[in-house]
Structure 1
Amino acid sequence: MLSLFGGIVLGSFILNDFSLLSSLENIFSLFVSLLSEAWILKTLAFAILVGSIMALIEKSGGIEGFVDFMQHKTGLVKSGRSALILSYIIGIFIFIESTITSLIAGAVGKPFCYKYRVPSAKLAFVCDSTAAPVSSLIIINGWGALLLGLITTQISLGVLNLDALDLLLESILYNFYAMAALVVTFVAIWFNIDIGAMKRAKHKPKNEEVLSSESTTMFYMLLPIILMVLSVFMFLYITGDGDILRGSGSSSIFYTMLFTLVFTLFYFVGTKNMTLSVWSKTAYKGALKLLPIALILLFAFGIGEITTELKTGHFLASLVSENLSLSFLAAVIFIIASLISLSTGTSWGTFSIMIPIAIPMALSMDANIALCIGAAISGGVFGDHCSPISDTTIISAMATDCDLVEHTNTQLPYALIGWGVAFVLFVFFGLIS
């Protein structure tokens, strides 16, 4: 929090020519404007409601029931590796929204990791490595809606004369970073490969303050999670006036969390799993526990606004020489998009900056347009995956009880391996295109 706030202060000083009064006024105005944005308030509320729901599911004993079922009745989870594989599979199949992906994969995997003494940093790495990459590859979600909208805008401006959906689908085949990240993660799990800071990651015993319930039926965990997944689709459909791709992601996840919280009230209290008093106290404690996460998210949004005002992304893009070789265009777009997303913590913001830049560059140089769009998407996903100020990174750490700095440090070496593989592929396809 101190680091993020320090970055906001320094950015404000730069924007205001180091005038103290103007800078303080700018910082005040920044937070007022952030807290006036409906989608930001919904995202912050989402983070707090997540705390309540996770605490209630844990208190209900449903997680212990699920662990018991998977271990003794199916025998599918017998080790730390199979526990991580389970979270990996969940991360692959829940592609509706990156934050929901991290949240559910973390909630399901966490009790097994406690059982088999797997470091929470390793689980956080698995949750984060499936969230943004999968959401950007299976585009029946808000990610697809944004990307399709950005490409369609270029067509409406007369820059392109192609079918937007066909171009998007072709560019997904060049989303090399997302593919590499998924492969690297699976290999790291299967062969138990610890590199860099992950070698020093330790298992932390679970906090028994809230998790004091005995094992009950696993449906106390499964039903809220299934409802959560289905509700996101439902609210995307509602907010999009019948079109899921046009639905509001922030509104959908907020309404989903609220709906799920109300469901747990009727389900847990109605089945006498807990009293109304216990439900209220548990929900309150869970929300209180995640207030710092909401504050980190607010500061992350703040520094994103500051870097936008400083035109960080446009500055990095302007560094590309006009004499750049056609063969290396996609690789350079990938590098720039990676730097922007890493420094701003937003993949969607990076897409919004880089796709309108990448398409005209590709056209003017007669390059492979889909390859260049794929490079912009890959670079955006990289930063969303491993930037410490990305909401997905923060929520992956939150969902697995892992320290944010530890999570960032432990997953970065794996992300860089995936980045290196993607870079080589962009150079190769740039040469043969």
Structure 2
Amino acid sequence: MDFNFIGTIWSLLPPVVAIALALKTKEVYSSLFIGIVLGAILFCLSMGTGFDGFLSHLLNDTVGEGDDAKSYGLIHCLSDPWNVGILVFLVVLGSIVSLMNKAGGSAAFGRWAAKHIKSKIGAQVATIILGILIFIDDYFNCLTVGSVMRPITVRYGVTKEKLAYLIDSTAAPVCIISPISSWAAAVSGFVSGGENGLALFCQAIPFNFYAFFTIIFMLMIVVTGFDFKAMSKYDERLKEWYERNGWQLDEVSDTKLQIVEHGVGAKADSKKPKETKGAVADLVVPIIMLIVFCMTGMVYSGGYFDATSANYHDFVDSFAASNASVGLVIGSLTALILTIMMFVVKKTLKFDDAMSCLIKGFEAMVPAVLILTLAWTLKSMTDSLGAAEYVSGVVASSAAGLQMLLPAIVFIVAACLAFATGTSWGTFGILIPICIAVFPVAAPLRIISISACMAGAVCGDHISPISDTTIMASAGAECKHVHHVSSQLPYALTVAGVSFLTFVVAGLTQGMGLMASAAISWISGIILLIVALTILKRIKCKKE
């Protein structure tokens, strides 16, 4: 019997099964692995290969010849230069965080922040502001914001699930509206035909409704104190534990803070934690070095310092031409070396203690590395089944008859594709060329549709359990990954619904010109956000 699952709706089965199992079993590792195995089985059934072909495709398989050859499998994903760079960056970042904690920088910053941040709302707003300020890269954002704000948010009773949501919502949504970021570089790289990809990216920023509305909605729920039941149940659990121990949420001592950080129900240590020599500068200076050197590494990889070379680019264009994986490794390694030197010279840490932090940093990142590896492999299986080509074909066939509604359609399709595959950048690579091909250069729908593609990809990435950024947000907040995914989903879906309707408005008003369409769409979107929050609060009040 002949089977052919390649390029059909069946190609979406592996990620759908993996996601469903992860949400059902609360165990992400086995769920991802089952999805990978299922993808390899479907491919081998389609190609008519036996068990040898199954093992080959599961581990390291090359399909096609010459320039058309593509590699798939676990070993291929682990040996891919881009992926290796991201893994190295994660390990180095984990080591820097471990160094800052060992030196007492995180504790010192927590004590400083306790004097300036006086409430639960203040802690959440501070997290959002820090997340917005770190706009270079979403991986860097997730782990840095998590390590800095985790002690402070715990002190004021912000659950790890809520912290993970705040981190995730200021990672990709902020990067996708920043012209100086690895995301801008990725989008620019998918624009061909001699066009200036970065200029096109900047034109599309005002219509990236999901990114802006996510940040606005996040501030609204923090200020109003509204939470969905999926999130508030964790808040109630933490409050009950505080009350059983007779502690006030805003009066947690350093000793109690350490207990809470190690998990609800941990046994109290009667001894006060040992004072360290750490200062606020021991946390701030390494983070500043990370930001500066990561930016430098990215423009270096983009040819900014090759003044005599044909690959030379100015500062802005070098971001568009940069290799984020290489740039982040260069920047993080430089920051790591200088951080070790700074702590040793200041005698904040002994050299042996600093070296032990390298191992602890690696150990802390093992779960994230494992999930990333499995997620990349699952994406590889999905790619080999032609899922992206299937989805792009559906979009292209529906474009002619529904042009006015195309931005909203592209938003939904991009969200579904990014959700199923766990990657925004892969979605950019598939749908942006289609949007460019469907509309001429001067057409307003061209810009709006490209914005819808970027917004939808970020939306799907935001809610996907196998997304790199979602995984990093869980790691940054030290939150169980499945808890983060399930508690974040209602917020993201609410903003997604408002964004979809706003893209409908943008498509219908595009004949008025880009500026007028953007203004009308923004007004409509903000009103819809306020109405949605008001209705949700009333529904929650009635249930309570």
What is the TM-score when the length of structure 2 is the normalising length?
A: 0.74
For the residues of structure 2 that align with 1:232 and 1:47, how far apart are their CA atoms?
13
Q: In structure 1, what residue type is equivalent to 2:331? A: T
Contact 1:64 1:214 in 2 (8 A): no
- 1:8 aligns to 2:36 (yes or no): yes
The residue that corresponds to 1:398 in the other structure is 475
Offset of 1:124 from its aligned partner? 0.8
The residue number in structure 1 matching 2:342 is 267
Q: Between Structure 1 and Structure 2, whose CA radius of gyration is higher?
A: 2
- 2-structure distance, mates of 1:382, 1:389: 13
Q: Describe the shift of the 1:71–1:253 C-alpha distance in structure 2 as closer, same or farther (beyond 3 A).
A: same
1:16-415 → structure 2 map (5 Å cutoff): 16-17=44-45, 19-29=50-60, 30-72=73-115, 75=116, 77-151=117-191, 153=192, 155-156=193-194, 164-201=197-234, 202-203=237-238, 205-207=260-262, 214-215=275-276, 216-242=278-304, 243-320=318-395, 321-322=397-398, 324-363=401-440, 368-415=445-492
Amino acid at match of 2:334: F
Deviations 1:119-170 (A, max 9, x none): 011111111101101111012122222222322x0x34xxxxx765543322
In structure 2, what is the Cα distance between the partners aligned to 1:256 and 1:397? Answer: 23
- Whole-Å separation in 2 of the counterparts to 1:238 and 1:430: 39
- Which moved further from structure 2: 91-100 or 275-284? 275-284
Q: Which secondary structure state, in structure 2, belongs to the residue aligned with residue 16 of structure 1?
A: helix
- Matched to 1:190, the amino acid is V
| Shift in CA distance, 239/167, structure 1 to aligned 2, threshold 3 Å | closer
Greater RCO, CA 8 A, separation 6+: 1
Q: Which amino acid in 2 is paired with 1:36?
A: S
Deviation at 1:180, TM superposition (A): 1.1
Give the 4+ runs in structure 1 shifted more than 3 A. 162-167, 320-324
Aligned partners of 2:474 and 2:480 also within 8 Å: yes
Cα gap change, 1:329/1:96 in structure 2, threshold over 3 Å: closer, same or farther? same
With 87-96 and 194-203 compared, the bigger mean Cα shift is at 194-203
Residues 179 and 201, structure 2, Cα contact 8 Å, conserved in 1: no
2:69 maps to what in 1?
none
Asked if structure 1 preserves the Cα contact closer than 8 Å seen for 2:301 and 2:322, the reply is yes
Work out the CA distance in 2 between the residues paired with 1:293 and 1:195: 27
Q: Partner residue of 1:159?
A: none
> Is the CA contact 1:101–1:131 (under 8 Å) kept in the aligned structure 2?
yes
Distance in 2 (alpha carbons) for counterparts of 1:136 and 1:102? 14
CA distance in structure 2 between the partners assigned to 1:350 and 1:54 by the alignment: 32
Does structure 1 conserve the Cα–Cα contact (< 8 Å) formed by 2:188 and 2:320? no
- Please report how far the alpha carbon of residue 367 of structure 1 lies from its aligned counterpart in structure 2 after TM superposition: 6.5
Amino acid at match of 1:25: S
SS at match of 1:137: coil
Q: How many angstroms apart in 1 are the aligned matches of 2:75 and 2:386?
A: 21
Q: Which moved more, 1:291-300 or 1:320-329?
A: 320-329
In 2 relative to 1, CA 361–196 (structure 1 residues): closer, same or farther, beyond 3 Å?
A: farther
> d(CA) in 2 for partners of 1:337 and 1:141?
21
Secondary structure of the corresponding residue to residue 78 of structure 1: coil
Normalised to the residue count of structure 1, the TM-score between the two structures is 0.92
Q: What number of residue pairs does the alignment pair up? A: 422
For structure 2, which runs of at least 5 residues remain unmatched after alignment? Answer: 1-28, 61-72, 239-258, 267-271, 305-317, 511-544
AA at the equivalent of 1:97: D
Structure 1 runs not aligned, ≥5 long: 157-161
Greater CA drift, 321-330 or 332-341: 321-330
Alpha-carbon distance between aligned partners in 2 of 1:232 and 1:167, rounded to the nearest angstrom? 24
Deviation of 1:344 (Å): 0.9
Shift of 1:235: 0.5
- Check whether the contact 2:138–2:171 (CA below 8 A) recurs between aligned residues: yes
Q: Deviations over 1:279-317 (max 9, x none)?
A: 222331231122121111111111111111212122123
| Paired letter, 1:189 | V
